[in-house]
C-alpha cells in the first residue's frame, strides 16, 4: 500500500448533502425557475408570476395562486425527500411535475430562500440560507405561495463562476417559461425582469379557455407566433397506446439551429435525444442537413409506459418501447407533411 493517511469516513450533514444534490437539480437560474414554476403548476395555480433580476442570479421570485402550504408543513416542504405528490409505492404512475422532494431543500442549500404561503386560515413564512432554516413566523399573504430565491449559488462559488452572462441566463429563463406555458395552456404566465429596480415584461401568456385542443392551439399561436401558426400542420396520430398531438411546421419554415423544438411527454416538457432524433428523421428527406424543423410535439401515454425518473431534473425520459414512439413521430409528421403536399420517397409505405 502507498503511504496514505488512514481515511476517515464521515456521515455528511444535511446541508452538505443538499448542496451536493443541488448540483444536479439546479444547474443555473433557469433550472431554479423550472422547479419553482412546476411546483406552482402542481399546486393547481391558474396564474404564475415570475420576476428575475440580473439573469436570475440575484433574484428569482415566483408568485402563484395555488393551494398553498400549511404553516405546520413549511419545515417539511423544505426537508429532503419530503413530498406531498407521491407516497413512494408506485414510481411508474406519476401525474405531477414533482415527486422527488428535492427542489426546495436544494434551492435553500445554494441560495437565500424565503417561502411565504397561505393555506386555509393563516399565512406563514420561513427562510433558509445556505441550508440553515429559520423559524416559521406569521406573515401577510392573501392566497397561494410566494417563493423568493436571492443570491443563487452564493453558497457554492464554484457554480456561480460557471454561469453565463445575465443576458444568456435571462434567455434561458425565458425559454423555460415558454416551454412550460406551452405545456399548460389554461394557466396565465407572466415573466418580468426587475433588474435595477424597474420592471419590464419579458413574456406573457394569458390563460386560454375552451377545450384542451382549442386551448393548445391558442397557446401555440401565442407563444410561437402567427408565422408558426400559418405554417404549422396539426398532428394527430396513434400507435400502440401512444398518442401524438401538437403541430409541426412546413419544411419551408425551418430554422438555422435546433432552437424551436418543443417536446412534451405526458404534459412534461423534456429534451429527450430519442424524440429529437425522431423529429429530425421525420424531415430528413424534405429538409437540407443544415436546417432544423420547428415543432411542438405532445406524446401522451399511460404513465406506466414511460419512466420519468431517469435524471434529477427530469428532462430525460425512458420509454418502455422507444421504437414505437420513434415510429409514431416519424410517420405522424410525414403523414401530415404528405397531406400538405410535401411527399417524399420514403413517405410511401409509412
Ligand atoms: P416535489 O415537488 O418533488 O414534491 P419540492 O421540494 O419541489 O418537491 O416541494 C416540496 C413540497 O412542497 C411539495 O411536495 C409541495 O407539497 C410543497 N410545495 C412546493 N411549492 C409549492 C407551491 N408553490 N404551492 C404549494 N405547495 C408547494
Ligand atoms: Mg417540485
Tell me how far apart the alpha carbons of residues 294 and 244 are, in angstroms, rounded to a whole number: 16
HSE, CB side, 13 Å, CA atoms: give it for residue 98. Answer: 25
Write the ipTM. 0.99
200, 234: one domain: no
> Is 6 part of any domain?
no
Candidate of 32, 42, 114, 131 to mutate for ligand 1, largest count of ligand atoms within 8 Å of Cβ: 42
What confidence score (pLDDT) does residue 312 get? 73
Residues 80, 26: Cα–Cα separation, whole Å: 14
**90 located within any domain:** yes
Residues 191 and 304 in one domain: no
CATH of the domain at 201: 3.30.565.10
For residue 190, the SS3 value is strand
d(CA 252, CA 35): 35
Q: Is residue 4 part of a domain?
A: no
User: What is the structure's pLDDT at 315?
Assistant: 81
Cα 328 versus chain centre, distance: 24
Task: Give the global pTM.
Answer: 0.92
Tell whether 174 and 244 lie within a shared domain: no
Q: What is the pLDDT of residue 146?
A: 98
Q: Residue 312 sits in a domain of what CATH number?
A: 3.30.230.10
Residues 53, 25, single domain; the answer is: yes
Residues 333/248, Cβ–Cβ less than 8 Å? yes
Residues 6+ apart with CB under 8 A from 248: 232, 233, 235, 279, 282, 293, 294, 295, 296, 297, 333, 336, 337
* Ligand at shortest distance from the CA of 145: 1
The total of other beta-carbon atoms located within 10 Å of residue 321's CB is 15
Q: What is the pLDDT along the chain (350 residues), one digit of tens a residue?
A: 778 888 899 999 888 888 888 777 888 999 999 999 999 999 999 999 999 999 999 999 999 999 999 999 999 999 888 888 888 787 777 788 888 888 999 999 999 999 999 998 899 999 999 889 999 999 999 999 999 999 999 988 888 899 999 999 999 999 999 999 999 999 999 999 999 999 999 999 999 999 998 999 999 999 999 999 999 999 999 999 999 999 999 999 999 998 899 999 999 999 899 999 999 999 999 999 999 999 999 999 999 999 987 777 778 899 999 999 999 999 999 999 998 887 654 444 34
Say what the pLDDT of residue 347 is.
42
Select from 205, 227, 247 the last residue of a domain: 205
Cell, residue 316: 430525460
Residue nearest to ligand 1 atom 17, measured at CA: 77
Residue 1 located in a structural domain: no
* Residue that finishes a domain, picked among 160, 182, 205: 205
Residues 197, 277, single domain; the answer is: no
| Domain assignment of residue 165, yes or no | yes
User: What domain range is 263 assigned to?
Assistant: 213-347
- C-alpha torsion sign, points 128, 22, 154, 107: negative
Number of structural domains the chain divides into? 2
Clarify whether residues 194 and 276 are in a common domain: no
Co-location of 94 and 178 in the same domain: yes
As for ligand 1, residues whose beta carbon falls within 6 Å of it are 35, 39-40, 43, 64, 66-69, 77, 83-85, 98-104, 145
Last residue in a domain, options 149, 170, 205: 205
Within a domain: residue 2? no
Q: What are the residues whose beta carbon lies below 5 Å from ligand 2 (ion)?
A: 39, 98, 103
Q: Are 162 and 110 in contact (CB under 8 A)?
A: no
Claim to verify: residue 41 and residue 133 sit in the same structural domain: yes
Q: Which pLDDT belongs to residue 155?
A: 86
Q: In this structure, are residues 43 and 68 in contact, taking their beta carbons and an 8 Å threshold?
A: yes
Three-state secondary structure call for residue 177 = helix
Distance (Å) from CA 32 to ligand 2 centroid: 10
Residue 240 in domain: yes
Tell which one of 24, 104, 120, 124 to mutate to probe ligand 1, the residue whose CB is within 8 A of the most ligand atoms. 104
Calculate how far, in angstroms, residue 83's C-alpha sits from the geometric centre of ligand 1: 6
**196 plus 268 within the same structural domain:** no
Are 276 and 190 within one domain? no
For every residue of 45-56, DSSP letters joined together read: -SEEEEEEEGGG
Residue 349 is predicted with a pLDDT of: 39
Task: Quote the pLDDT of residue 124.
Answer: 98
Let me know whether 197 and 310 are in one domain.
no
Same domain, 151 and 40: yes
pLDDT at 16: 84
Look at residue 281 and tell me if it is in a domain.
Answer: yes
Amino acid at each position: 500500500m502507498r503511504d496514505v493517511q488512514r481515511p476517515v469516513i464521515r456521515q455528511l450533514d444535511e446541508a452538505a448533502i443538499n448542496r451536493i444534490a443541488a448540483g444536479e437539480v439546479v444547474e443555473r437560474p433557469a433550472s431554479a425557475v423550472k422547479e419553482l414554476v412546476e411546483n406552482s403548476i402542481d399546486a393547481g395555480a391558474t396564474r404564475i408570476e415570475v420576476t428575475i433580476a440580473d439573469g436570475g442570479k440575484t433574484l428569482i421570485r415566483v408568485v402563484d395562486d395555488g393551494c398553498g402550504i400549511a404553516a405546520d408543513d413549511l419545515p417539511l416542504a423544505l426537508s429532503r425527500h419530503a413530498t406531498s405528490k407521491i407516497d413512494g409505492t408506485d414510481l411508474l404512475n406519476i401525474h405531477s411535475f414533482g415527486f422527488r422532494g428535492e427542489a426546495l431543500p436544494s434551492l435553500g442549500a445554494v441560495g437565500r430562500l424565503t417561502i411565504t404561503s397561505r393555506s386555509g386560515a393563516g399565512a406563514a413564512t420561513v427562510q433558509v440560507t445556505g441550508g440553515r432554516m429559520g423559524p416559521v413566523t406569521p406573515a401577510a399573504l392573501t392566497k397561494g405561495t410566494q417563493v423568493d430565491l436571492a443570491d443563487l449559488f452564493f453558497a457554492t462559488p464554484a457554480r456561480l463562476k460557471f454561469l453565463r452572462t445575465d443576458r444568456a441566463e435571462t434567455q434561458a429563463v425565458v425559454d423555460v417559461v415558454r416551454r412550460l406555458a406551452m405545456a399548460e395552456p389554461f394557466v396565465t404566465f407572466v415573466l418580468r425582469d426587475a433588474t435595477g429596480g424597474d420592471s419590464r415584461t419579458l413574456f406573457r401568456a394569458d390563460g386560454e379557455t375552451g377545450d384542451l385542443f382549442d386551448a393548445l392551439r391558442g397557446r401555440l399561436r401565442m407563444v410561437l407566433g402567427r408565422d408558426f401558426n400559418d405554417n404549422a400542420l396539426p398532428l394527430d396520430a396513434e400507435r400502440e397506446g401512444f398518442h401524438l398531438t401538437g403541430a409541426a411546421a412546413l419544411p419551408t419554415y425551418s430554422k438555422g439551429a435546433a432552437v424551436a423544438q418543443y417536446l412534451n411527454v405526458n404534459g412534461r416538457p423534456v429534451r429527450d435525444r430519442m424524440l429529437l432524433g425522431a423529429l429530425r428523421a421525420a424531415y430528413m428527406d424534405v429538409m437540407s442537413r443544415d436546417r432544423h424543423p420547428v415543432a411542438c410535439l405532445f406524446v401522451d401515454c399511460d404513465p406506466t409506459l414511460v419512466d420519468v425518473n431517469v435524471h434529477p431534473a427530469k428532462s430525460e425520459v425512458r420509454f418502455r418501447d422507444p421504437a414505437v414512439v420513434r415510429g409514431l413521430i416519424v410517420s405522424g409528421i410525414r403523414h401530415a407533411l404528405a397531406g400538405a403536399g410535401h411527399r417524399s420517397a420514403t413517405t410511401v409505405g409509412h
